Amino acid sequence: MLADVLPASVVRTYRQGDSVSKAFGIGTSNLFDIFLTGNTNPYTYMELILPDGGRIRYNRISSGTGYSDAVYVHSGTTTGFYGSKISWVGNSFGHWVLTFKNGTTYLFPDSSNATTPQAAALTGITDRYGNTVTLRRDSNHNLILIGTQSGHWIQLTYDGSNRVTQAVDNIGRTVSYTYDSGGRLSTVTDAKGGVTTRTYDSNNNMLTITDPRNITYLTTQYDSNNRVIKQTLADNTTYQFAYTLASNTSQTHFVTLGTGYTGGGPGVDISGFRACSGCQEAYTPEISETDVTDQRGYVRK
């Protein structure tokens, strides 16, 4: 991580059920590879695609049907994206600008002819005070440089399959990445030489994560539909997941902690997940909305 006015870091997101190779192999993407998509002629909506596959829907609120006068707004969720707008700027730093209510802006390129998600991905961030994070991409649209306001940077190197093999920062710290024969992220070697290892099943589901001390701190089991049914931590604490069909044809999933509680017990957090493949607003085909109930009985989404 680069500490700065606007800090920057390399963050990976793994998504089961995703067979597409991304910046860190099959199913594992870079946080900065969020991108825009939408319709054209007329330009009536856009969607921001998040690293986990979630979609944030923006509907047009301006008159007209073209792109240059288009203004889109998100109002479908109570997330940090609520009230944010997308509009056309067409300058040398980007063509679409996503403006949050706090004044932070994300820049995206014109992607009408994009053939890969990276070609439509984020190119820069500016906060309301003018502090920036610069994102530089190569001819394949892979992110190769993350730069901060004070001149700190992280440089990324890729292999022939457009997967990150190395991240080096401005003071020489290096993190290396290798991939297994199935194209999945296998090892991460940190700046101190410690190696974290991941294993997978034949469906690209991540099974285990083992840290540099050779401690397997997460083991995950799946059902026949490739849904998580049990996770075991290094201390043998377990999380068990049960799935039931809800009345709205989505699925509601409940988590049972190792204590045996399934809701509302002292000191126990219970998560309910709703998978909704047909939803339009901020949902993913896997786990899309999360309700967490704390020990006081309060629910947060």
Mind listing the pLDDT tens digit for each residue in 185-197? 999 999 999 999 9
Neighbours of 141 (CB within 10 A): 21
pLDDT of residue 290: 38
| Two structure tokens written together for 192 | 């101190």
Q: Which of 137, 161, 117, 136 is nearest to 24 (CA)?
A: 161
Higher pLDDT, 246 or 173: 173
100 backbone dihedrals φ, ψ, rounded to 5°: -85, 165
Whether residue 298 has pLDDT greater than 70? no
pLDDT of residue 94: 62
Q: How far is 2 from 23, CA to CA, in rounded Å?
A: 20
Confidence of residue 243 (pLDDT cuts 50, 70, 90): confident
pLDDT of residue 244: 74
**Global confidence as pTM:** 0.80
pLDDT of residue 128: 94
Burial of 298 (0-12, 13-18, 19+ CB in 10 A): exposed
Q: How far is 155 from 144, CA to CA, in rounded Å?
A: 6
What integer is the mean pLDDT of 85-98?
A: 85
pLDDT of residue 150: 86
The number of angstroms, rounded, from the C-alpha of 223 to the middle of its chain's C-alpha atoms is 24
- Most confident by average pLDDT, 9-13, 42-46, 112-116: 42-46
Burial of 260 (0-12, 13-18, 19+ CB in 10 A): exposed
Q: How far is 189 from 166, CA to CA, in rounded Å?
A: 9
Question: Is the sign of the CA dihedral 22, 28, 33, 39 positive or negative?
Answer: positive
What integer is the mean pLDDT of 10-27?
A: 93
pLDDT of residue 149: 85
Higher pLDDT, 51 or 58: 58
| Two structure tokens written together for 57 | 């829907």
Q: Which of 2-16, 50-64, 169-183, 286-300 has the lowest mean pLDDT?
A: 286-300
Higher pLDDT, 155 or 272: 155
Mean pLDDT of all residues belonging to the chain: 83
> SS3 of 176, please?
strand
pLDDT of residue 31: 92
What integer is the mean pLDDT of 202-226?
A: 95
